[in-house]
C-alpha cells in the first residue's frame, strides 16, 4: 500500500469519529480548544490502538488464509465502506441534552471512551485487512490516530458552524474511499 493510500485510509477511518464530533459540537454551549483537543487525543489514541489489535489477529491468521488474503481485504473494506455509507443516511438519536459542555465527570468520561471505542471498531477490522495486505501497521496506526485526533478536535470546534449534515457527508465519502482501496487491493493481486 502506498503512502497516499495509507493517508486516504487514515482519513476514511477518522470520518465516523468526525461525524460524531460535529454532531456533538452542534449541541455544545461552548467548546474550548483545550477541551476539544483532549477529546481528540482520546479518540485518536483509541483509533490508533484498535488497528494494531486487529493487525495482530490478522497476522496470526495470515498463514492459514494467505491464498485468499486479497479477497478478504476486499470484503472487509467493501463491508466497512457499505456500513459507513449506510450510517451516513441513517437518522441518529441525539445524546442526552442535559450535557451542553464537553464532558468532565467520570460518567461522561466513560461515555466518551465507549463512544471512541464504538467509532473505532471499523479500524479493528481494517487492522486485520492491513495484516493481510502486508502494510506497516505502525505507520498506518499512527496516521489513523493523528487523523482522528485532528478530525475530532476540528469537529467539536466547528460543530456549530458545520452542522450534522457535513458529518454525515464525511462518513459517506469515507465509505466510498474504503471501497476504492479494497477494490484496488483486489485488482493488484488478481
pLDDT of 136 > 60? The answer is: yes
Q: Tell me the three cell numbers of residue 82.
A: 457499505
Q: Is position 154 within any domain?
A: yes
* 149, part of any domain: yes
Which pLDDT belongs to residue 137? 94
Is residue 101 situated within a structural domain? no
Backbone angles phi, psi at 133, to 5 degrees: -95, 5
Cα within 13 Å of Cα(77), Cβ side: 27
Q: pLDDT-derived band of residue 135, with 50, 70 and 90 as boundaries?
A: confident
Query: Helix axis angle, 33-65 relative to 106-132, nearest 10°?
Result: 30
Domain assignment present for residue 132? The answer is: yes
The stretch 9-17 carries a mean pLDDT of 90
- Roughly what angle, to the nearest 10 degrees, separates helices 137-189 and 69-89? 110
Q: What average pLDDT score do residues 147-155 get?
A: 95
pLDDT recorded at residue 64 = 79
pTM for the whole structure: 0.74
The answer to whether position 137 is within a domain reads: yes
Cell 478478504, residue located: 72
Neighbour tally for 125: CB within 10 Å: 20
Q: Is residue 104 part of a domain?
A: no
Total domains, the chain:
1
**Average confidence (pLDDT) over 147-162:** 90
Q: Is residue 96 part of a domain?
A: no
Mean pLDDT of the chain: 83
- pLDDT, tens digit, for every residue of 52-86? 999 999 888 877 777 777 788 788 888 888 888 88
pLDDT confidence tier of residue 96, bands split at 50, 70 and 90: very low
Question: Is residue 17 situated within a structural domain?
Answer: yes
Most confident by average pLDDT, 50-54, 155-159, 168-172, 185-189: 50-54
Q: Does residue 102 carry a pLDDT above 60?
A: no
| pLDDT for 92 | 52
Task: Determine the average pLDDT of the residues in 124-143.
Answer: 90
What distance in Å separates the CA atoms of residue 34 and residue 117, rounded to the nearest whole number?
21
| Dihedral sign computed on CA atoms, order 71, 180, 177, 90 | negative
- Segments forming the whole domain that contains residue 143: 3-90+113-189
- Among 42-51, 82-91, 110-119, 133-142, top mean pLDDT goes to 42-51
Amino acid at each position: 500500500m502506498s503512502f497516499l493510500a495509507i493517508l486516504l485510509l487514515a482519513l476514511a477511518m477518522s470520518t465516523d469519529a468526525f461525524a460524531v464530533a460535529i454532531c456533538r459540537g452542534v449541541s455544545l454551549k461552548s467548546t474550548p480548544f483545550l477541551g476539544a483537543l483532549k477529546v481528540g487525543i482520546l479518540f485518536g489514541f483509541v483509533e490508533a490502538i484498535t488497528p494494531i489489535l486487529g493487525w495482530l489477529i490478522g497476522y496470526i491468521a495470515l498463514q492459514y488464509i494467505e491464498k485468499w488474503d486479497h479477497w478478504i481485504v476486499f470484503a472487509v473494506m467493501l463491508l466497512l465502506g457499505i456500513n459507513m455509507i449506510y450510517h451516513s443516511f441513517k437518522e441518529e438519536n441525539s445524546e442526552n441534552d442535559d450535557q451542553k459542555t464537553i464532558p468532565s465527570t467520570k460518567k461522561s468520561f466513560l461515555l466518551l471512551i465507549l463512544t471512541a471505542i464504538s467509532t473505532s471498531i471499523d479500524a479493528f477490522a481494517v487492522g486485520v485487512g492491513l495484516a493481510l495486505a502486508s502494510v506497516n501497521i505502525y505507520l498506518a496506526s499512527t496516521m489513523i490516530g493523528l487523523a482522528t485526533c485532528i478530525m475530532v478536535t476540528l469537529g467539536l470546534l466547528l460543530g456549530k458552524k458545520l452542522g450534522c449534515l457535513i458529518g454525515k457527508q464525511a462518513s459517506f465519502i469515507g465509505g466510498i474511499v474504503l471501497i476504492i482501496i479494497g477494490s484496488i487491493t483486489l485488482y493488484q493481486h488478481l
